[in-house]
């Protein structure tokens, strides 16, 4: 395995974390928020991946937007594509992140007026290329390119400072992961000064554990020049095409090392694990400390009454949002606003989204439940049966998590095993109890039973 033991301290030695220079105001942030995110299965069937709820009252897009706000940046373009409606409603005018004013803005940038698949962005670099007119209009010195679906806290000022001091054409945020996970990411090789010397895109046998975080800082003139060259060569992605080509052309690429919490919530398991991390008091995933903001007006969270916990209820190591009514037991779980847990119901190691109801005597164990779902009385959901992978989605659900799509209704006295998928709006409550073995799928993609 390659080792770069000295470059971290070399790059960080002169940075003052309390300094906020004008550099951020001469910068433009571009958030890539158009990904389909198919591995999140039914959670993205009716919404864009960056609009997926997280942590009770947030959405994934809130993390880069909050980092932008906390770093003092003032101009943001958000590149949407797939099912952008809930994302657009959530972002609104940008006031929740202080992006309203004479010199401040957040702008939604759809790919085209058309709706054909051929109109869609073909890759991360193609998405930025198609929005060069927006970059030209603002004429920034630097362009920061961010992913809209990662959970992390980062001061972009530090990355901008490093980029300017190193004289880089492009700077890439990097971090180390366990070597056994490195094959899932794009790898970066650096020399002792922090200059990037090579890339490997998801290699089967990784020789390094230093990965790209999908966060890039470009000198604008270099970005425009390389994207225009890329268009002539039909290269559409930064990791696969643009960065390796920049190295061949002799551009100066540097790594910006990061050590804090970071999670690409591209899978059901990573989405679930990040919520469990949030519940661990010893874990660095601390949304209050990170100063994460969200649009509370969108779902009228502030209009909901305080959460109510009944005299016979029990809540342990959980997040309970406004408007929840708890009369049963909730352990190691995250409940969004308006969730009802009736007497005798038990919710363990689960994520329950807005306005869902768990009726009396029902038991949930290791479940992700989207908005507006109902679990009938005395139903057992997840945590039972042999743990076999989902037959239709073996790469999505293979760790025992049962998944309910938005608006699903499960009849009373039913039994659903592990790694089960229930499609959105599958209304099964009109019939009798159902028995669903582990690894099976319920409902149809169009929402019919």
pLDDT by 10s per residue, the chain, length 449: 344 444 553 444 444 545 445 466 689 999 999 877 788 999 998 888 999 999 999 999 999 999 999 999 999 999 998 778 888 899 999 999 999 988 899 999 987 544 444 567 888 999 999 999 999 999 999 999 999 999 999 999 999 999 999 999 999 999 999 999 888 888 999 999 999 999 988 888 888 899 999 999 999 999 999 999 887 776 788 988 899 999 999 999 999 999 889 999 989 999 999 999 999 988 889 999 999 999 988 767 778 999 999 999 999 999 999 999 999 999 999 999 999 999 999 999 999 999 999 999 999 999 999 999 999 999 999 988 877 999 999 999 999 999 999 999 999 999 999 999 999 998 887 778 999 999 999 987 655 44
Using left for φ > 0, alpha for ψ between -120 and 50, and beta otherwise, residue 404 falls in beta
Let me know: does 366 contact 348? Beta carbons within 8 Å.
yes
What gap in Å lies between CA 449 and CA 319, rounded to an integer?
Answer: 32
Note the maximum CA span of the chain. 69
Query: How distant, in Å, are the alpha carbons of 36, 146, 225, 398 from that of 39?
Result: 9, 20, 34, 12
- Residue with tokens 């002169």, as numbered in its chain: 14
pTM passes above 0.85: yes
Alpha helices in 72-149 (DSSP H): 85-91, 124-129, 132-138
Q: Which of 45, 46, 49, 53 is nearest to 351 (CA)?
A: 53
Note the pLDDT of residue 2: 42
CB atoms within 10 A of CB 191: 13
Using left for φ > 0, alpha for ψ between -120 and 50, and beta otherwise, residue 37 falls in left
Beta bridge partner(s), residue 404:
369, 422
Note the pLDDT of residue 446: 57
Note the pLDDT of residue 6: 44
Cβ-proximal residues to 430 (8 Å cutoff; 6+ apart), any chain: none
- Around 118, how many Cα atoms within 13 Å sit in the side-chain half-sphere? 0
Let me know: does 166 contact 77? Beta carbons within 8 Å.
no
Let me know: does 230 contact 24? Beta carbons within 8 Å.
no
**What domains lie within the chain, and their CATH numbers?**
7-269 (3.90.550.10), 299-449 (2.160.10.10)
The DSSP secondary-structure symbol of 447 reads S
């Amino acid at each position: 395995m390659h080792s770069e033991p000295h470059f971290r301290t070399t790059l960080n030695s002169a940075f003052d974390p309390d300094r906020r220079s004008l550099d951020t105001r001469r910068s433009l942030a571009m958030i890539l928020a158009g990904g389909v995110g198919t591995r999140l299965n039914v959670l993205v069937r009716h919404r864009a991946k960056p609009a997926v709820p997280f942590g009770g009252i947030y959405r994934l897009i809130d993390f880069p937007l909050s980092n932008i706000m906390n770093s003092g940046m003032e101009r943001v373009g958000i590149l949407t594509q797939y099912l952008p409606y809930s994302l657009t409603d959530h972002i609104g005018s940008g006031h929740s992140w202080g992006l309203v004013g004479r010199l401040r803005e957040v702008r939604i940038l759809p790919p085209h007026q058309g709706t054909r698949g051929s109109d869609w962005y073909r890759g991360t670099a193609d998405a930025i290329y198609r929005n060069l007119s927006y970059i030209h209009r603002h004429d920034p010195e630097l362009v920061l390119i961010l992913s809209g679906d990662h959970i992390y806290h980062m001061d972009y000022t530090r990355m901008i400072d490093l980029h300017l001091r190193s004289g880089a054409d492009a700077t890439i945020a990097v971090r180390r992961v366990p070597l056994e996970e490195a094959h899932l990411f794009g790898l970066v090789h650096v020399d002792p000064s922090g200059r990037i010397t090579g890339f490997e895109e998801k290699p089967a046998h990784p020789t390094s554990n230093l990965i790209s975080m999908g966060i890039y800082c470009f000198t604008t003139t270099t970005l425009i020049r390389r994207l225009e060259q890329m268009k002539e060569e039909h290269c559409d992605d930064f990791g696969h095409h643009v960065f390796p080509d920049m190295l061949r052309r002799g551009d100066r690429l540097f790594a910006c090392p990061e050590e804090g919490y970071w999670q690409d919530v591209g899978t059901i398991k990573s989405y679930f694990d990040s919520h469990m991390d949030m519940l661990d008091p010893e874990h660095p995933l601390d949304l209050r400390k990170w100063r994460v903001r969200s649009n509370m007006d969108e779902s009228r969270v502030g209009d909901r009454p305080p959460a109510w916990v009944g005299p016979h209820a029990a809540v342990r190591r959980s997040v309970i949002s406004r408007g929840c009514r708890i009369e049963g037991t909730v352990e190691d779980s995250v409940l969004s606003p308006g969730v009802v847990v009736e007497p005798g119901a038990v919710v363990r190691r689960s994520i329950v989204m807005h306005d869902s109801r768990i009726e009396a005597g029902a038991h949930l164990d290791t479940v992700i439940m989207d908005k507006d779902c109902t679990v009938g009385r005395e139903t057992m959901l997840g945590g039972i049966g042999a743990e076999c992978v989902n037959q239709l989605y073996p790469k999505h659900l293979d760790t025992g998590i049962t998944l309910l799509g938005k608006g699903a209704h499960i009849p009373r006295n039913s039994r659903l095993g592990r790694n089960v998928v229930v499609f959105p709006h599958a209304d099964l409550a009109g019939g009798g109890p159902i028995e669903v073995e582990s690894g099976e799928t319920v409902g149809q993609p169009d929402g019919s039973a």
